Structure 1
């Protein structure tokens, strides 16, 4: 009986099969060296939002241009943790705590755990959620609006 209310899978030639679950169209995406990362796209019961779906298709091409903004924001997020550690406020550093010198170093200390796209108020909002070796309590989100970097959100829920 509940199959009556279930959405049919949505096939996309670039993103593959998307299944509707928990209010989003879900699949996976590969960006850079991160493969098969969970992907969530907003939409109706019948299909993903067209602008969000198109933005998801363009993510691979856009990601290279976004990397400098993401890495700089992640390095700025790292700074207070490294300073607190140097002052002895965090106790002893775990062996996993990174020593980052410049922005490009962040990629060895973070993992992309999910990507979500939503079409809200006429704009496509994209969030790339990362776990970091220096902040084990939070997942941070690199947030973009219509392809422009907005901010690094300090605590997001991966999709």
Structure 2
């Protein structure tokens, strides 16, 4: 009945079909070995051009910054590992990744979703991550352009 109020799908040559849902344009993004839900900033008439460009570039940025993200994840893991070894925290159900080799961390990380949104007035890309050692939080690897900015400790996946 109110179909005329819904935004028409937007088709991007790289990202495929995006549909407006809530306040974001949603689709899928191939990142690493996975096919992730994608949310992109933009008004009802279409996705933001800068957000589209950042989403198209995110697979390249992710590949280039994977080592930096792995190091940040290893830093995030370190206090938990120390607490488990000291008996101050319960050991996880799965073994903790090696703290000495940041690349080994990927076996304990699941990519959940990707988004490109305005944060603090800047267009940021973010990949939501689930890690085996912190089941209570979803982490966010944030990027501004091609630069890895931070590992956010608690986000809501898109």
Q: TM-score, normalised by structure 1?
A: 0.92
The question of whether the paired residues in 2 share the 8 Å contact of 1:70 and 1:142 is answered with yes
CA shift at 1:36, angstroms?
Answer: 1.5
- The reply to whether residue 45 of structure 1 matches residue 44 of structure 2 is yes
- Distance change (3 Å), C-alpha of 1:68 and 1:25: same
Provide, for residues 6-55 of structure 1, a one-character-per-residue CA deviation record: whole Å limited to 9, x for no partner.
1100011111110100100001111112x221100000101100011011
Q: Secondary structure at the match of 1:155?
A: coil
Aligned to 2:106: 107
Deviates further, 57-66 or 94-103: 94-103
CA shift at 1:2, angstroms?
Answer: 2.7
Rounded Cα–Cα distance in structure 1 between residues aligned with 2:65 and 2:151: 12
* Structure 1 stretches lacking a partner, 5+ long: none
Aligned to 1:80: 79
Rounded Cα–Cα distance in structure 1 between residues aligned with 2:150 and 2:53: 22
Q: CA RMSD for the aligned pairs?
A: 1.5
Written as runs of structure 1 = structure 2, the 5 A alignment for 1:132-151 is 132-151=131-150
Q: TM-score, normalised by structure 2?
A: 0.93
Aligned residues: 157
- The reply to whether residue 23 of structure 1 matches residue 14 of structure 2 is no
Q: Secondary structure at the match of 1:141?
A: strand
Provide, for residues 65-98 of structure 1, a one-character-per-residue CA deviation record: whole Å limited to 9, x for no partner.
111111111010010110010011113x234132
The question of whether the paired residues in 2 share the 8 Å contact of 1:11 and 1:18 is answered with yes
The question of whether the paired residues in 2 share the 8 Å contact of 1:112 and 1:128 is answered with yes
Rounded Cα–Cα distance in structure 1 between residues aligned with 2:113 and 2:9: 20
CA shift at 1:147, angstroms?
Answer: 2.3
Aligned to 1:117: 116
Q: Secondary structure at the match of 2:55?
A: helix
